[in-house]
Amino acid sequence: MAEETLMEIAYSLENCNVPFLWVLRLPHGVKEANSVLPPGFLDRVNHPSIGGFLSHCGWNSTIESICAGVPVIPRPLHGDQPLNARLLEEVTRTGMGIQRSPKGRFIRDGICTSILALMVGEKGKEIRANAAKWKEAALASQKDGGSSSLGVHDFVQGIIQFACK
């Protein structure tokens, strides 16, 4: 992710005036987060609540957000991420896209608008409710007799049968 993009996201998060947690992987060659963030940013952003997840939408992050019941603002980069973002926005309806510039870039106002809409807007209420429903479905699938539990059982049985041949 370009340093310019990191700065836009950082300013967007601060400008929204909502609590957030930002897990940041620094660009290659950057050793200190302070060097690519606004002055004093790290000191200002210490808060325990999580009301949404601005995510690259890798598969693990996508599944984790669904299982945790946390709505997502997708910011996909490459690979499977655009498809996962579309899954969250259009299928599970647990994600809210970001408005982009005419050239397709993520812009400060678009990021902030999406954050505010998710955290305090009407559409955000619907998305948070959907996230809660998907969390319940994920939890149910893990219980005895649930689809995930049965899938793991069937997988293990298949390996045992294969090994015993």
Number of domains in the chain: 1
**Measured between alpha carbons, how far is 87 from 110 in angstroms, rounded to an integer?**
20
**Measured between alpha carbons, how far is 138 from 143 in angstroms, rounded to an integer?**
9
Tokens for 1, please give them: 């992710």
The whole domain housing 65 covers 3-163
* CA distances for 109 relative to 14, 106, 143, 148, angstroms: 12, 9, 42, 40
Q: Look at residue 165 in the predicted model and tell me its pLDDT.
A: 81
Q: Look at residue 147 in the predicted model and tell me its pLDDT.
A: 92
Q: Look at residue 111 in the predicted model and tell me its pLDDT.
A: 84
CATH number of 51's domain: 3.40.50.2000
Tokens for 21, please give them: 């947690």
C-alpha 64 chain-centroid distance: 8
Nearest to 54 by CA among 14, 90, 27, 102: 14
**What's the pTM?**
0.68
User: Mean pLDDT in runs of 10 for the chain (165 residues)?
Assistant: 77 78 70 70 51 85 86 91 96 92 83 88 94 92 90 92 90
